[in-house]
Structure 1
Amino acid sequence: MSALFHFQSLLLVILLLICTCTYIRGQFPSIIDRNKTGVLGLFWKAARVGERLSPYVSLCCIVMAVRYMLYA
């Protein structure tokens, strides 16, 4: 089953995208910051969400990790 059709997997993919974009922007800000518009602007927006909502994103990461450990 594809991650796009399973809601829990879709949430995990979005959460991993946010975390990855935030990490890349922290290490190499010029890569993310030069693409603020267009299709690649999605990565810039995901990095901004990760920066501004980092306590909530980290809490969601912990919840998803525990959920996968219990149901795996």
Structure 2
Amino acid sequence: MSALFNFQSLLSVILLLVCTCAYLRTLFPSIIDRNKTGVLGTFWKLARIGERKSPWVGAACLIMACTVLFWT
């Protein structure tokens, strides 16, 4: 089953993308920052969400981890 058709898997993929983009921006800021528009601009936007909403993203990661471990 694809992650697009399962809501829990879709949320996991989005959270992983946000966390990965924010982490890669701390390591290689020039790569993420030069692509602010277009398709690659999505990664810049995900990195900005990960930086600015980091307490909320961290809480969402904890909740997702608990649901994956204990719910399924």
Instruction: Flag whether TM exceeds 0.5 (same fold).
Output: yes
SS of alignment partner, residue 22 of structure 2? helix
- AA of the residue aligned to 2:58: S
For 2:30 and 2:16, the matched residues in 1 are separated by 21
TM-score (norm 1): 0.97
Identity of aligned residues (%): 67
For 2:2 and 2:71, the matched residues in 1 are separated by 18
Runs of at least 4 residues off by over 2 Å: none
SS of alignment partner, residue 30 of structure 2? helix
1:26 aligned partner: 26
Aligned length: 72
Report how far residue 35 of structure 1 moved: 0.4
5+ residue gaps, structure 1: none
